[in-house]
Structure 1
Amino acid sequence: MKSAAADPYGALQKLQGGERSSLTDAVAAALREAIVTLALEPGMMIDKQAICERMGVSRFPVSAALARLATAGLVEVLPQRGTRVKPIVIHDIRQHLFIRSALEVEAVRGLASTCSEATLAALAANLEKQREAVTGGLRHEFHLLDLAFHEILLDAIDLPRVKEIVATSRGALDRARQLLGSPERQIQTLAEHVRIFEAIAARDAEAAARAMHGHLDQVVAELQRFAGERPGLFEA
């Protein structure tokens, strides 16, 4: 995780001139990326002037962008103090993981009896790339492959609305996932994915459901441990 002690605004790029609305969009996108990747850490007070200077914009698009991010639950306004990056709320994480577990556990339970050879081949290829990413220490690539593994499973059940709901909950977990990107956690995630794949390949619906349930439960357990180490990043 990137430390806010280094320049927390270093990843923000200077913008070219444009319409006020497009500048707001660009500032909001850049700040969201910085928050999700933890360049701007949970609990950190936001320096609007530093953002203006770094991105070469006036205060209006910065304020408008922060208002959008407040609506999205990524920042919050503290009366008489200013705006800060909202701490990660453990209760919210549990709710989104509950949603994911309810849907993805049932997805793999059903998929175990209907999975095509093409889907199994796609999962196997994805897992091989995950192994390569773990071995090579490619954190970002592993993150993308992790997402792709779950996408393959959800595409295979062909229920677009379910996939949409899962995607929304997964997006709300972006910051938390960044905290769990250690090499050790990646090795564990790969092992959990392998168990899910092997259960589906064996056409064992209950084993697949248990493997997915255990995989998502581990996220909560890891976050609880991390919250004990870095309590300033979290709210109960």
Structure 2
Amino acid sequence: MSYSSESDLVGVAGNPYVALQKISGSERGSLTDAVEQALKEAIVTLVLEPGMMIDKMAVCDRMGVSRFPVSAALARLAHAGLVEVLPQRGTRVKPIALDDIRQHLFIRSALEVETVRGVALMHDRATIDALAENLEQQRKLAGNGQRLAFHTLDLAFHEILLDAVNLPRVKEIVAVSRNALDRARQLLASPERLVHTLDEHELVFDAIRAGKADVAAKAMHEHLDQVVAELHRSAKERPDLFAS
């Protein structure tokens, strides 16, 4: 389940649960999966903001499900570090912790820097063409501030690189860290930041296309490093979204 456009988020400030869609299905497992995916996307895209208490009954009513799949989905999201249970209060969206962000970025940097180094040495035409097509779509969106659509392309850009080296375990580890970072990435998704992200992707791509492995690795390292610096600025502007 996903939000097709920025307009899907209109009006959620007063009632964020309107962004959730009714689901169908009869098996508990499939319902739990669907609720988990919907809530995860709402959390990652900041429809459900860090620190917000989650109204289980509102989720049940909006999605047309019983309490069981909602509770099961929230338990999974707690394990993933996106929500937390507060004794005698309920479940809330977990505030963003800068210490956690730094650790996940360290993991991503270590793995993705070496990934682009390897891709640059491969000279694989299909990978280069896929990256070029992805960047062409990014250019169309970056200047228009379409952050959700751009975010999807951003994820796809990194997926292309990881798929190229064909190391499933590495891709799985990166995915875990990326999921933990997605909310923070949304905080940075100003029109200006989208343009900067595109520029950074272009530098990575140019180095890969030229077969310059060290240059590509450096460009990816600097691209990921920008997140920490900008998050510190965001924490000063919106301290309510971050864990102290």
- Shift in Å at residue 60 of structure 1? 3.5
- The correspondence for 1:78, drawn from 76, 86, 93, is 86
Counterpart residue number, 2:206 = 198
**Residue number in structure 1 paired with 2:99:** 91
Residue pair 2:102, 2:228 contacting (<8 A) in 1 also:
yes
Shift of 1:21: 4.5
Q: Deviations over 1:7-60 (max 9, x none)?
A: 111112334573444443333332222212211111011222322332334433
Alpha-carbon displacement from aligned partner over 1:126-170 (angstroms, at most 9, x marks no partner)? 212211122344323321221222122222223232222222221
Distance across 2 between alignment mates of 1:206 and 1:213: 11
Q: 2:183 aligns with which of 150, 168, 175?
A: 175
Q: Given that residues 115 and 156 in structure 1 are in contact (C-alpha distance below 8 angstroms), is that contact kept between their aligned partners in structure 2?
A: no
Letter in 2 for 1:135: G
2:118 to 110, 120, 141: 110
User: Would the alpha carbon gap of residues 9 and 106 (structure 1) be closer, same or farther in structure 2, given more than 3 Å must change?
Assistant: same
Query: Is 1:222 aligned to 2:239, yes or no?
Result: no
Structure 1 unaligned residues grouped into runs of 5+: none
Q: Any residues of structure 2 matched to 1:145-156 within 5 Å, and which? A: 145-156=153-164
* CA pair 120-64 structure 1, distance change in 2 beyond 3 A: closer
Q: Secondary structure at the match of 2:17?
A: coil
Between 1:3-12 and 1:168-177, the stretch displaced more is: 3-12
Q: Deviations over 1:100-151 (max 9, x none)?
A: 1001111222332332233323222221221112234432332122122212
Distance in 2 of aligned mates of 1:156 and 1:82: 43
TM-score after normalising by structure 1: 0.88
The higher radius of gyration belongs to 1
Counterpart amino acid of 2:214?
Answer: E
Q: Percent same amino acid at aligned positions? A: 71
Matching residue of 1:121 = 129
Matches of 1:113 and 1:52, distance apart in 2: 51
CA distance in 1 between counterparts of 2:93 and 2:186 reads 15
Kindly tell me: are residues 23 and 159 of structure 1, through their superposed partners in 2, closer, same or farther at Cα, counting changes over 3 Å? closer
Across the aligned residues of Structure 1 and Structure 2, the Cα RMSD in angstroms comes to: 2.3
**Aligned residue pairs: how many?**
236
